[in-house]
């Protein structure tokens, strides 16, 4: 089945709380975000010549990473099954890192050194990303 375009389906209070509903648009947004994240991980691993089994830690950061239910994320394909057991939530790393960099010249020098090792990859401009995005659209 499918949800009708403008319909809202109320969830029961025992599910998530009072007055919460989900729409077809909500599910579509989740589907697109999930496909983009999963595809991005696969493409970045490809460009780095790293296999999924070689990854030692999956670092999750920010509000998204901190509050994610890893089992649910794995079940819908947001996180690859091989990475679930090595996922670690680190909290607000951007804010913490900015504070450290502002207070420490040594930290800024380390960041500069790290930045020089990084390479920008425009995922949306790669054919592989489009293929992987399509492959990861299903739940």
Of all residues in the chain, what percent carry a pLDDT higher than 70? 86
pLDDT band (50, 70, 90) for residue 57: very high
To the question of pTM greater than 0.75 for the whole model, the response is yes
DSSP-derived letter for residue 120 is -
> How far is it, in rounded angstroms, from Cα 129 to Cα 121?
11
Min mean pLDDT across 10-19, 65-74, 126-135 is at 10-19
* pLDDT digit string, tens, across residues 58-103: 999 988 888 889 999 999 999 999 999 999 998 888 888 899 999 9
Closest-CA residue to 50 (of 85, 89, 88, 82): 82
> Given this model, what pLDDT does residue 26 score?
84
* 13, pLDDT greater than 90: no
pLDDT score at 105: 95
In this model, does residue 116 exceed pLDDT 90?
A: yes
Tell me if residue 118 falls in helix, strand or coil.
coil
* Closest-CA residue to 128 (of 40, 52, 53): 40
């Amino acid at each position: 089945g499918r949800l009708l375009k403008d319909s809202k389906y109320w969830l029961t209070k025992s599910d998530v709380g009072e007055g919460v509903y989900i729409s077809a648009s909500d599910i579509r947004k989740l589907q697109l975000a999930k496909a983009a994240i999963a595809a991005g991980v696969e493409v970045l691993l490809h460009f780095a010549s790293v296999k999924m089994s070689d990854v030692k830690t999956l670092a999750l950061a920010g509000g998204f990473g901190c509050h994610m239910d890893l089992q649910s994320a794995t079940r819908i394909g947001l996180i690859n099954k091989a990475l679930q057991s090595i996922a670690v939530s680190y909290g607000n790393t951007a804010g913490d890192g900015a504070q450290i960099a502002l207070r420490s010249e040594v930290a800024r020098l380390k960041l500069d050194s790290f930045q020089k090792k990084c390479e920008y990859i425009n995922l949306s401009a790669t054919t592989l990303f489009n293929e992987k995005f399509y492959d990861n659209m299903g739940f």
